[in-house]
Amino acid sequence: MLIGGTAMSGRKDDTGKARFDLLPVKPLFEVVKVYTIGAGKYSDRNWEKGIKWGRVFAAMMRHAWNWWRGEKLDPEDGQHHLASVAWAALTLMEYEETHPELDDRLPKEVRWEDNEPLDYGELPKGDENAEIQTP
């Protein structure tokens, strides 16, 4: 409503509250499509029953690598690979709370310490402008 040329609206204190208005809508809908396809392929909310974390992680990495090598859409279902990556990441975040019994990662004593840099040995110095050779 305009009163005297000034927009008037009620006051609402949203300080410290989640800002869902900041989410990018189009990519979010792409993720929702992945959930919808899964519901049609398996059943509604089937993923909530739980899947071993390693299987979800492996699928996430396959989609990430397919996208990284230049394939935007999954030829199996036509969905954006990164939407499937997002689905898997959201699923694993949920499983941390709801399905810790399906955590099949390496035992903690085998994993590297938090914040400990991985040792890649001495990496060869390269020309950052050189073309990458692929097999």
d(CA 50, CA 92): 10
**What pLDDT, on the 0 to 100 scale, is given for residue 5?**
61
Give the residue-averaged pLDDT of 95-104. 98
Q: Which one, of 59, 84, 82, lies nearest residue 72 by Cα?
A: 82
Rounded alpha-carbon distances, angstroms, from residue 120 to 18, 127, 133: 39, 19, 21
135 — pLDDT class (breaks 50, 70, 90): very low
d(CA 133, CA 128): 13
Report pLDDT digits (tens) over 75-91.
999 999 999 999 999 99
Report pLDDT digits (tens) over 6-56.
667 788 888 899 999 999 999 999 999 999 999 999 999 999 999 999 999
**What pLDDT, on the 0 to 100 scale, is given for residue 10?**
81
Q: Which one, of 51, 31, 54, 30, lies nearest residue 42 by Cα?
A: 51
Q: Are strands 6-7 and 2-3 parallel, antiparallel or unpaired?
A: antiparallel
Angle (nearest 5°) at CA 88 between 69 and 51: 125
- Does the predicted TM-score (pTM) go above 0.95? no
Task: Check: CB of residue 91 under 8 Å from CB of residue 48.
Answer: no
